[in-house]
Amino acid sequence: MDASAIYYDANSQWLLSIVLASMILGVALDIHWRDFKAILKMPTAIFAGLVAQFIALPLFTTLITLVVDLDAGIELGMILVASCPGGAVSNFVTHLAKGNTALSISMTATSSALATFMLPINFVFWSQVNPTTHALMQSIEVSGGALFLNLLMVLALPLVLGLVVQAFWQKFASILHKILKITSILALFAFVSIAIYRNIDAFKAHFELMFLVVLFHNALAYLLGFSAGRLVRLNNRDTKATTIEVGMQNSSLAIAIVFTQFNAEAGMALISAFWGTWHLVSGLAVAYLFSRWPNGPDPVATSRAKESLL
């Protein structure tokens, strides 16, 4: 990609780190401990979704980057997006799809918590598997160990703080969540707008390529979420939730990481921005199709009923 990366001074980098931390804090302030209790009630469904989210998607994404010859920034951006947890908007889309919204919420809460260490582990590991992306990280002087520690600090501390505030000061947490939800998104939108504006030529020149890459990558994510549900024989309602949860990545988190850790590298920024736009479109399309797919009986319950008759 011909466009050069966008660099910010130290003050901008600190500001971006604060924006990223505020995003995670805002998410944590809206997570209730009861969301994690659902793991005991739906362990198979949540386990299937998390395996597809944190193992299958990064693995298959890396395999694609090894087979297809793309710009290093695009490939690294794909691996980053694949390493992110599901986005909160997936809960609303699951509701529209007539899926198991409670399962979707529990998966979002669990994946957001696990992402504090799974995201840096996955991203650092898989980016080093691909020689092209590994070379890019070295060229922009990003240390895998330093990146892991930085992400762990920026992701883990706000998450713990948010959970504590939510547990002991729920009214304050509710007010702060509403404020951060608006301010962090506005700040991130401003930085993304600047990035696109300063890379408008690259955006236009690579529009078709970006669209095709994101279209295929996003379809892969939905397929993995759906396959995970079918593999462990979830009912249709739960399969809808796992499909949407894996298919709708928290690309806003990916964009924020690109700006805070990678000096807004053009390929990574554009692929993350495309993902952030497209997965909303695809999510609504999938929700429409799923809403017309009857939830039907629980396949496990039906199988057990047949076995009892025998």
Is 142 inside a domain boundary?
A: yes
- Give Dmax (Cα) for the chain: 72
Instruction: Answer yes or no: is pLDDT of 143 > 60.
Output: no
Tokens of 42: 């739906």
| pLDDT 10s digits, 45-103 | 888 989 999 999 999 999 999 998 888 888 898 999 998 887 667 777 887 788 887 78
Cβ proximity of 39 and 110 under 8 Å: yes
Q: Kindly report, residue by residue over 29-43, the tens digit of the pLDDT.
A: 766 666 566 666 778
Q: With helix as H, strand as E and coil as C, how does the chain read? A: CCCCCCCCCHHHHHHHHHHHHHHHHHHHCCCCHHHHHHHHHCHHHHHHHHHHHHHHHHHHHHHHHHHCCCCHHHHHHHHHHHHCCECCHHHHHHHHCCCCHHHHHHHHHHHHHHHHHHHHHHHHHHHHHCHHHHHHHHHCCCCHHHHHHHHHHHHHHHHHHHHHHHHHCHHHHHHHHHHHHHHHHHHHHHHHHHHHHHCHHHHHHCHHHHHHHHHHHHHHHHHHHHHHHHHCCCCHHHHHHHHHHHHCECHHHHHHHHHHHCCCCHHHHHHHHHHHHHHHHHHHHHHHHHHCCCCCCCHHHHHHHHHHHC
Instruction: Please write the tens of the pLDDT for every residue from 95-112.
Output: 778 888 778 877 877 787
CATH number for the domain that contains residue 277: 1.20.1530.20
Percent of the chain with pLDDT over 70: 69
- Residue 88, amino acid: A
- pLDDT band (50, 70, 90) for residue 126: very high
Domain count, the chain: 1
Domain assignment present for 301: yes
Is residue 3 a part of any domain in this protein?
A: no
* Percent of the chain residues topping a pLDDT of 90: 12
Residue 2: per-residue pLDDT:
43
Residue 181 lies in a domain: yes
pLDDT over 80 (residue 27): no
Residue 74 in tokens: 């695009």
154, pLDDT greater than 70: no
CB atoms within 10 A of CB 139: 10
Q: What is the pLDDT of residues 217-235, one digit of tens each?
A: 999 999 999 999 999 888 8
Would you state the pLDDT for residue 179? 78
For residue 64, the model assigns a pLDDT of 92
pTM of full prediction above 0.75:
no
132-141 per-position pLDDT tens digit: 888 888 776 5
Higher pLDDT, 194 or 128: 128
Q: How confident is the model at residue 10 (pLDDT cuts 50, 70, 90)?
A: very low
Residue 258 lies in a domain: yes
Name which residue leads in pLDDT, 248 or 145.
248
Q: What is the pLDDT of residue 292?
A: 84
What is the pLDDT, as a whole number, of residue 149?
67
The residue range of the domain holding 61 is 10-309
Judge whether 1 lies within some domain. Answer: no
